[in-house]
């Protein structure tokens, strides 16, 4: 296994380095201005998700809002926020519960949620490379991934804590699942 991995890295060193560069460039592009507008929010959906995730972290698993496909993101953020809350209480010795902490400083909760969105956006860049590589070639995949990092609309959605990036990644994963059997049948 290690021998195969070493052989693969030697054979694809240039592609890996270029992809790493695109990944880092995308990271800079998506992280730049991640604190936009805080403590105010300029995206209507962000407060809906963040406030319900804080409810989940405080123990309320019935946040009575199921008309939008953000449930996965709300629950995942709830777990992350609960972990933050435990660290805040145990390590820093804070007396604030999570609701009080959120009320006194909501920006940290928005930043963490936006970082989760950036992580999904960077995952999408890698998946687009893999799709391009499977459809055409490695250079095609690299160009597709780079163009995605330059996309204004994609970058804008990577800045906000909304489920758009998560759904994009799930959609791209499904595309990969469709392409793999088709590529195997073609060979």
Alpha-carbon gap, residue 49 to 31, rounded angstroms: 20
Q: How far, in Å, CA of 139 to CA of 146, rounded?
A: 11
Q: Tell me the HSE value of 129 on the side-chain side, using a 13 A CA sphere.
A: 20
pTM for the model stands at 0.85
pLDDT band at 181 (very low <50, low <70, confident <90, very high): confident
- Residues 131-178 pLDDT 10s: 998 888 889 999 999 999 999 999 888 988 888 899 999 999 998 888
**pLDDT tens figures, 31-51:** 888 888 777 777 888 888 898
Residue 185: is its pLDDT beyond 70? Answer: no
Q: Is the pLDDT of residue 103 over 70?
A: yes
Contact indicator for 17, 10 with CB cutoff of 8 Å: no
Q: How far is the first Cα of the chain from the last one, in angstroms, to the nearest whole number?
A: 24
- For residue 25, the tally of other CB atoms under 10 A from its CB is 15
The chain-wide mean pLDDT, for the chain, equals 86
pLDDT at 35: 82
**Residue 70's pLDDT band (cuts 50, 70, 90):** confident
Mean pLDDT of 55-64: 82
Look at 68 and 161; give whichever has higher pLDDT.
161
Rounded-to-integer distance, Cα 9 and Cα 15, Å: 9
Residue 89 — very low, low, confident or very high, per pLDDT cuts 50/70/90?
confident
169/16 Cα distance (integer angstroms): 21
Q: Is 143 left (phi over 0), alpha (psi -120 to 50) or beta?
A: alpha
Residue 123 banded pLDDT, cuts 50, 70, 90: very high
């Amino acid at each position: 296994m290690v021998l195969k991995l070493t052989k693969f890295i030697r054979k694809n060193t240039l592609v890996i380095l270029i992809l790493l560069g695109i990944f880092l460039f995308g990271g800079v592009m998506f992280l730049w201005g991640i604190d936009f507008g805080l403590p105010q929010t300029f995206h209507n959906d962000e407060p809906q998700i963040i406030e319900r995730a804080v409810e989940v972290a405080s123990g309320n698993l019935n946040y009575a809002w199921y008309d939008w496909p953000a449930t996965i993101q709300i629950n995942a953020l709830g777990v992350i926020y609960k972990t933050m809350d435990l660290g805040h209480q145990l390590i820093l010795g804070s007396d604030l519960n999570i609701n009080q902490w959120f009320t006194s400083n909501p920006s940290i909760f928005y930043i963490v949620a936006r970082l989760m969105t950036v992580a999904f956006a960077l995952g999408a860049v890698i998946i687009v490379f893999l799709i391009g590589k499977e459809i055409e070639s490695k250079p095609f995949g690299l160009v597709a991934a780079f163009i995605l990092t330059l996309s204004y609309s994609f970058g804008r959605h990577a800045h906000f804590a909304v489920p758009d990036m998560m759904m994009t990644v799930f959609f791209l994963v499904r595309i990969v699942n469709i392409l793999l059997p088709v590529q195997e049948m073609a060979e």
